[in-house]
Structure 1
Amino acid sequence: MLVIPFEPDIICIKKNSFGEAITDNPTKEFFIMKEMISEDLYENMEYFHEKLQVTKNFDMIYRMLSVGGRDACLYFIEGYIKDDIMEKLLEFFHSLTPEDLPQTSHELTHSYIPYVEVDMVQEKEQIITNILSGVVCLLIDGYDKCFAIDCRSYPMRSVEEPDKDKTLRGSKDGFVETVVFNTALIRRRIRSPQLTMEMLSAGESSRSNIVLCYMQGRADEALVQKLRERIESLQVDALPMSQESLAEAIYKRKWFNPFPKFKYTQRPDTTSASLLEGKIAILVDNAPTAILLPVTIFDIMEDADDFYFPPLTGSYLRFSRFVIAFLSLLLTPVWLLFMQNPQWIPPWLDFIKVADTVYVPILLQLLILEFAIDGLKLAAVNTPQTLSTPLSVIAGIVVGEFAVKSGWFNSETMLYMAFVAIANYTQSNFELGYALKFMRILLLVLVGIFGGWGLAAGILICVLCIACNRTVSGTSYLYPLIPFDGRQLARRLFKKRTA
């Protein structure tokens, strides 16, 4: 970039943190001019050879050729291009005569190349970005314009149902790591001109492609503009963790509130349905997941199976998920409170008492098992598929049977924690499951220290964490419960007919 110091006859542009142009106090700012390519091919090649380190990078390819009697050079990255298309393009270039090309660069347009996706680029930085993104760039001597030919083909896996978001019915396709294919999966379901997909980028080094998807007329335009400005004004070097890095960058939430503000999904049908409801989806290249916002806790607890079954079955599945989430939060803390105060147990619940001798305090048993369950999860994730069965057998025998016989754990403690571990998998949202886990650990600690008052305080803290949480757009996290909207609340709790 060429930076020219301020002069009185030059209008300077100052930008705020959101990239908006402002004009206050211009004397302290600088006018920035974007550097363009020249008409000299070899001067341009010298620049791009140095910037792209062509001699060091084995996959950075340049190809000299003749186009209409003029020297030309192709820049591209090996592994991105389609060989059959490039072969036809090279045949076309060699067949051109001097009469086929215009005399001046001002007459040069993308129509001179018989290919669908061709752009004319003059900025050097933009040309470098195109080349590093896999676009073939053609420079011709005597012209100060570059042909950017998008004939790239990214390596990708097949479009198949994601392991995390499986459904009993419905479509069996899922997002992949290539953002263009993900947008096509959404376009296939929403054939409306109101569906808008804006291409943005972020990251000084990564220059990651980010797509902002929304329905015009349904999405909150103020929120769309706010997200657009935040993405464009991001001052980050890269997005190493794709959508999670972007989510943390565009919304810096308080770390002590674990309840999620975003909903992540790998299903294009869920994303399409959310867009039709007025939500916004953010797709990041190299991430097979869409970020949906703004979302409430009722949106996060929804699952695709709720909509693929008749109203009665879908309502039952949704109601069961709410009840199980409530039980997974309170079951072990309430049981611990009863064990500390056996006189509070009614006669018809005497069977919940621990029958064997307690060698390790029950609170410590529950906390150890909370961490042990996560340890087993991590072990299962990092275990090769061929060894997953032996791992399950070892975990079932050693942790399940020998841990009880050795006196470390009581069978009742193992039973209730087994229910909690299974109940966590009823939540399709991974972040919400861990938010409930953190609240449950807090309840256990408070009950273990303060007894009944600790349980009351823990429940109050949990309610405040949910009630005081706000969506990305600033609305209530508990809508339609707070503020109350009976019609929408009934729609969130019970599935209705779609037609």
Structure 2
Amino acid sequence: MASEATDSKEKMATSLEANMLYMNKVIKADKNFDVIYRVIQVGGKNACIYLIDGFCKDEMMQKLLQHFMDITEDNMPKDAHEMSKGFVPYVEVDLKDTWEEILYSLMSGVFLLFVDGFDKCILIDSRTYPARGVEEPEKDKVLRGSKDGFVETIVFNTALIRRRIRSTDLVMEMMHAGKSSKTDIVLCYMDNRVDHAFLEKIRDKIKNIQVDALTMNQESLAECLYDRRWYNPFPKFKFTERPDTASAQVLEGNIVILVDNSPSVLIMPTSIFDVVEEADDYYFPPITGTYLRFSRFIIALLTYLMTPTFLLLMEYPHLIPKGFEFIMVRDTVNVPLIWQFLILELAIDGLRLAAVNTPNMLSTPLSVMAALVLGEFSVNSGWFNSEVMLYMAFVAIANYTQSSYELGYALKFMRIINLILTAVFGVWGYGAGILLTVIFMVTNRTVSDQSYIYPVVPFNAKQLAKRLFRLRLPGALDPVDKKGNK
């Protein structure tokens, strides 16, 4: 017999014995306890069923088996096509004759039926995946609005979007990536609004992905789609776990990519204004939504500038505005301020990681202990000054005003660079740090190779007003104008 890689592209035989011999060898039926196969009689002919235990509904399988066994020899159809049309009491039925498609279907949980003498395998898609409820995501919560969220099952996620967009122009295009994993990927877009040239570019990129598996789901796919300028920390994609946010982006002409086993989706093309936007902006009246949006912009700016500005003013006290002399550090500085800031930047991430891995029953006592030891005692011991602790506490909390983890860490990395430059070069270093951040943001290119700061560059006053202000009638953006091409 030829190699498995070659055989997988060949067509199945009409002999049940030959098909079973190949199947049992390839799927290692004698070793895999969860791969079930059973030989039965269907209309006087030998037949065999294959299924993955846990993916198929037991009650449905029992009813199908009973139906097949009740088919008499007189009523037995002549070929697989006739049988699939009139003798399979199920909705999702398909026929395949190549081993590659048959094996992929089995590994995906589809029920297989081989009948001796038939040149095609009958596929019955009665699978069901273990899934959790569509609760509101922990990170993308809103004060008002829908409380559902994406889950790890891709069919549920597409249904959540279909529920919101009942249009025949909505397209859910299925693709696969990964030699071993064959991960399901869905391109979701509005056919009458999407940029078809960009869509074809993304489709080609996914088809040409040469990886063994998308181990980290959507992050693995994102790194395959964009492998340039990895050193630029600003996000190239927008991630969301909210179906309403994804649906709004689809209506604006964007492409949403869903990856199986991932509760978040990728949205592209993306600008910095898309990343900053949140669902709460549109679940409140225009004036409230505008206020919330400006609040996030201002707080994001403060999280970046507060600690470098404080460090600069401590090195050059004469720059402190009149009336703000109280910000000066009054206590003895035992550890240089730059080292205090850098240590606390690392310590905050350490506490964040500890909080993620702490069991719920221990989170409260450990939080109290961390607050006492790292807060009051660290100041009293002389390691840190209270002013430094105050500003770093603000930065740590304010980072959570952004729903994007990627943007939060991008600002963190830029802040650390600015702190180091300010400590080494003073005022010139402070200015260079700000300039470097602007350069990283302006030169960051998305998958679509378009401006990351559109509609500032290229300038579009109408679109900029929509990005800064929550208008009364948000509506869908012009799909051409949205991209900034025209």
TM over 0.5: yes
Structure 2 residue 199 is matched with structure 1 residue 224: yes
Q: Give the corresponding residue for 2:288.
A: 313
Q: Give the corresponding residue for 1:286.
A: 261
Asked if the contact 2:47–2:113 (Cα under 8 Å) also holds between the matched residues in 1, the reply is: yes
In the aligned structure 1, how far is the partner of 2:8 from the partner of 2:106? Answer: 22
Q: Which structure is higher in RCO with an 8 Å CA cutoff and minimum separation 6?
A: 2
Superposed structure 1 runs of 4+ greater than 3 Å apart: 31-34, 104-111
Q: How does 1:94-493 map to 2 (within 5 A)?
A: 94-105=69-80, 107-493=82-468
Structure 1 residues 176 and 317, CA gap change in structure 2 (3 angstroms): same
Structure 1 residues 182 and 125, CA gap change in structure 2 (3 angstroms): same
- 5+ residue gaps, structure 1, are 4-30
| Deviation, structure 1 residue 498 | 2.6
Amino acid at match of 1:149: I
| Deviation, structure 1 residue 421 | 0.6
In the aligned structure 2, how far is the partner of 1:296 from the partner of 1:371? Answer: 29
DSSP-derived class of the 1:127 partner: helix
Q: Give the corresponding residue for 1:19.
A: none
In the aligned structure 1, how far is the partner of 2:79 from the partner of 2:237? Answer: 52
Structure 1 residues 98 and 281, CA gap change in structure 2 (3 angstroms): same
| Deviation, structure 1 residue 2 | 7.2
| Deviation, structure 1 residue 104 | 4.2
- 5+ residue gaps, structure 2, are 475-486
Asked if the contact 1:210–1:285 (Cα under 8 Å) also holds between the matched residues in 2, the reply is: yes
Q: How does 1:40-51 map to 2 (within 5 A)?
A: 40-51=15-26
Amino acid at match of 2:170: L
Q: Give the corresponding residue for 1:14.
A: none
Structure 2 residue 38 is matched with structure 1 residue 63: yes
Measured on the aligned residues, the alpha-carbon RMSD in Å equals: 1.5
DSSP-derived class of the 1:446 partner: helix
In the aligned structure 2, how far is the partner of 1:377 from the partner of 1:146? Answer: 52
Structure 1 residues 310 and 466, CA gap change in structure 2 (3 angstroms): same
Asked if the contact 2:270–2:452 (Cα under 8 Å) also holds between the matched residues in 1, the reply is: yes
Asked if the contact 1:105–1:142 (Cα under 8 Å) also holds between the matched residues in 2, the reply is: no
In the aligned structure 1, how far is the partner of 2:473 from the partner of 2:352? Answer: 38
In the aligned structure 1, how far is the partner of 2:2 from the partner of 2:244? Answer: 47
Asked if the contact 1:110–1:120 (Cα under 8 Å) also holds between the matched residues in 2, the reply is: no
DSSP-derived class of the 1:172 partner: coil
Q: Any idea what the Cα deviations from partners look like across 1:152-186, whole Å, max 9, x if unmatched? A: 11001111101010001111000110000000000
| Deviation, structure 1 residue 475 | 1.1
Amino acid at match of 2:473: T
Asked if the contact 1:196–1:215 (Cα under 8 Å) also holds between the matched residues in 2, the reply is: yes
Asked if the contact 2:80–2:122 (Cα under 8 Å) also holds between the matched residues in 1, the reply is: no
Asked if the contact 1:110–1:147 (Cα under 8 Å) also holds between the matched residues in 2, the reply is: no
Instruction: Report how many residues are paired.
Output: 472
How high is the sequence identity, in percent, across the aligned residues?
59
| Deviation, structure 1 residue 107 | 4.9
91-100 vs 396-405, which moves further? 91-100
In the aligned structure 2, how far is the partner of 1:116 from the partner of 1:498? Answer: 42
In the aligned structure 1, how far is the partner of 2:244 from the partner of 2:105? Answer: 31
Structure 2 residue 51 is matched with structure 1 residue 76: yes
Q: Any idea what the Cα deviations from partners look like across 1:114-145, whole Å, max 9, x if unmatched? A: 21000001011111111111000000001011
| Deviation, structure 1 residue 472 | 1.4
Structure 1 residues 144 and 415, CA gap change in structure 2 (3 angstroms): same
Structure 1 residues 106 and 185, CA gap change in structure 2 (3 angstroms): closer
Amino acid at match of 2:230: W
DSSP-derived class of the 1:200 partner: strand
| Deviation, structure 1 residue 397 | 0.3
247-256 vs 293-302, which moves further? 247-256
